């Protein structure tokens, strides 16, 4: 464990629904996703955001504060954790002015349109950049001071992701403690987190714990599989039963903090996952195991199971990661922690049926937005005009000579526009109404070469969904041959109804 921005996870198709919680502004537990960028063909920020919205992902962590990405995330409601890259730690930790400038450019310039909720100062600095460790707390304090000066300290938390490898003697958890050589940094850091109401950011990788255990840790215990009581590990001091590595490490961190007299700093897991492919010496890096781990982890977190030490107190977790990173150095597994490939094609379908608030939009439950039987043609035309105009749907596929031009009738064209808008807006029921002429269906309306957003198509890959550009209206309605009589009056109604129906 303990490698910068180390792992990622896989997820097939609408797998991501991890959408986490029932998405309310004050949700208390969530599943998020890390977005690494070591791809030879990194998708455009608007495509990344479209994928997030289609998968109902409402929490993301960036490994930097890329301006284009922050602009694309604006006005989506998606909660964003941005990062101070490791290479900037020394500069920020030695200069209050440098920290203030960083916050001005990367936070103040985007907030509140972009819903920045946390700043991760570096990543696993204590284990990857030991020369920067002594000024890490200064960096945290300087960033915090800049937020205070901008009146943003209550809205945005500051912390730094730590590798769980700094926890020694992690089992039994009740005997765990942090590497004592790090105490000169950890004690003031925990004091800072406690005084600012922030949280301990922890990267937990049961995959590496399992790989490095030389057979001591059973695979099922690492994968969060259900175990009979006689197979669970027992903390001999507390008699608490542990059914998986994840909970044991979380509790070990709580006990390690308590050993330093910090008992009220919450934990958030900033990275966790399982690779879907590995080298010959990594036989357990498989699609099946990645699916099992991530599916079990998402259910475990969102069902608010908690840990043996803190039952019912779920630990919000960011899965590593959104995309497979094909240019990442290292073994094959390093390139295969993603849930999707660069085209937005899921690596595998997460098994999330029955996980409560999670929206398990897999291939057995894929939904589309289509016209209602018997819908009035004039109403359809007005709704089509709205979708391709104010609704900012890219209707270029409906132009003559394009894949979805045929059949050239309002019903077919409206279905394409409705479904595209529905997926752009996160597939909420409110985004598939269009003044009563649309309905949600599980029947894929794709035909011929006209592949609808969300369709698996003939090759099983999800159709690419591109969000409208922030500075364009996509296809102007004037470029499409709309021939409606009742457009203006009905559009006015649609504008009111749909204007309040946007999901994100």
In the chain, the domains with their CATH numbers are 27-340 (3.20.20.80), 368-441 (no CATH)
Q: Is the dihedral of CA 282, 284, 288, 290 positive or negative?
A: negative
- Bridge-based pairing of strands 317-319 and 177-178 is unpaired
> How far is CA 282 from each of CA 220, 334, 336, rounded to the nearest angstrom?
16, 11, 12
In angstroms, the CA 173 to CA 167 distance is: 10
Distance from the Cα of residue 10 to its chain's centroid? 12
pTM (two decimals): 0.69
Q: pLDDT tens digits for the chain (504 residues)?
A: 443 333 333 333 233 333 333 333 335 799 999 999 999 999 999 999 988 887 888 999 999 999 999 999 999 999 999 999 999 999 999 999 999 999 999 999 999 999 999 999 999 999 999 888 999 999 999 999 999 999 999 999 999 999 999 998 889 999 999 999 999 999 999 999 999 999 999 999 999 999 999 889 999 999 999 888 888 999 899 999 999 999 999 999 999 999 999 999 999 999 999 999 999 999 999 999 999 999 899 989 988 889 999 998 889 999 999 999 999 999 999 999 999 888 887 888 787 654 433 333 343 446 788 898 888 999 999 999 999 999 889 999 999 999 999 999 999 999 999 999 988 877 776 788 898 898 877 678 888 889 887 775 433 333 443 333 333 333 333 333 333 333 333 333 333 333 333 322
Q: Is the dihedral of CA 54, 57, 58, 61 positive or negative?
A: negative
Q: What's residue 106's pLDDT? A: 97
Nearest to 319 by CA among 451, 203, 168: 203
Q: What's residue 197's pLDDT? A: 96
Query: Do 278 and 333 contact (CB within 8 A), yes or no?
Result: yes
Q: What's residue 366's pLDDT? A: 67
Q: What's residue 456's pLDDT? A: 58
Residue 329 sits at the vertex; the CA angle it makes with 327 and 333, to the nearest 5 degrees, is 90
> How far is CA 361 from each of CA 30, 242, 256, 411, 445, rounded to the nearest angstrom?
17, 31, 39, 26, 17
Query: Do 393 and 420 contact (CB within 8 A), yes or no?
Result: yes
Query: Do 205 and 6 contact (CB within 8 A), yes or no?
Result: yes
Tokens of 427: 């597939």
Active site residues: 124, 271
Residue 493 φ/ψ, nearest 5 degrees: -65, -45
Nearest to 161 by CA among 351, 32, 333, 346: 32
* 3-state secondary structure (DSSP) of residue 172: coil
Q: DSSP secondary-structure letter at 190?
A: H
């Amino acid at each position: 464990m303990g490698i910068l921005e180390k792992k990622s996870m896989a997820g097939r198709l609408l797998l991501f629904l991890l959408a986490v919680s029932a998405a309310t502004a004050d949700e208390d537990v969530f599943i998020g996703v890390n977005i690494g960028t070591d791809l030879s063909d990194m998708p455009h920020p608007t495509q990344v955001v479209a994928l997030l919205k289609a998968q109902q992902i409402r929490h993301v962590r960036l490994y930097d504060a890329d301006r284009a990405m922050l602009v694309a995330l604006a006005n989506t409601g998606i909660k964003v954790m941005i990062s101070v890259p490791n290479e900037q730690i020394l500069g920020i930790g030695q200069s209050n002015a440098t920290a203030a400038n960083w916050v001005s450019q990367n936070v103040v310039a985007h907030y509140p349109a972009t819903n920045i909720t946390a700043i991760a100062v570096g990543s696993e600095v204590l284990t990857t950049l030991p020369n920067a460790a002594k000024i890490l707390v200064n960096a945290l304090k300087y960033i915090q001071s800049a937020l205070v000066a901008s009146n943003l300290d209550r809205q945005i938390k500051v912390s730094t992701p730590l590798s769980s490898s700094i926890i020694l003697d992690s089992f039994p958890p009740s005997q765990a403690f942090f590497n004592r050589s790090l105490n000169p940094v950890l004690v003031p850091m925990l004091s800072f987190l406690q005084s600012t109401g922030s949280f301990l950011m922890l990267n937990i990788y049961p995959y590496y714990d399992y790989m490095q255990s030389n057979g001591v840790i059973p695979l099922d215990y690492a994968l969060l599989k259900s175990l009979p009581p006689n197979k669970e590990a027992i903390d001999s001091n507390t008699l608490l039963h542990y059914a998986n590595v994840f909970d044991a490490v979380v509790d070990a961190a709580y006990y390690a903090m308590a050993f330093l007299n910090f008992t009220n700093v919450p934990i958030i897991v900033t990275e966790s996952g399982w690779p879907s492919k590995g080298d010959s010496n990594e036989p357990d890096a498989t699609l099946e195991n990645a699916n099992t781990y991530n599916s079990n982890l998402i259910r475990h977190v969102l069902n608010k199971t908690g840990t043996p030490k803190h039952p019912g107190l779920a630990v919000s977790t960011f899965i590593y990661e959104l995309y497979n990173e094909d240019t990442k150095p290292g073994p094959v597994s390093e390139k295969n922690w993603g849930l999707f490939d660069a085209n937005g094609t899921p690596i595998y379908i997460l098994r999330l049926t029955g996980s409560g608030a999670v929206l398990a939009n897999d291939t057995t439950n894929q939904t589309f937005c289509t016209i209602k039987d018997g819908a009035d043609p004039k109403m359809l035309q007005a709704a089509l005009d709205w979708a391709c105009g104010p609704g900012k749907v890219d209707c270029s596929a409906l132009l003559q000579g394009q894949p979805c031009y045929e059949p050239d009738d309002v019903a077919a064209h409206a279905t394409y526009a409705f479904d595209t808008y529905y997926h752009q807006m996160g597939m909420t029921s409110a985004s598939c109404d269009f003044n009563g002429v649309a309905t949600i269906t599980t029947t894929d309306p794709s035909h011929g070469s006209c592949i609808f957003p969300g369709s698996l198509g003939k090759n099983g890959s999800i159709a690419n969904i591109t969000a409208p550009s922030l500075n364009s209206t996509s296809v102007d309605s004037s470029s499409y041959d709309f021939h409606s009589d009742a457009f203006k009056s009905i559009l006015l109604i649609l504008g009111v109804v749909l204007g309040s129906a946007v999901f994100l």
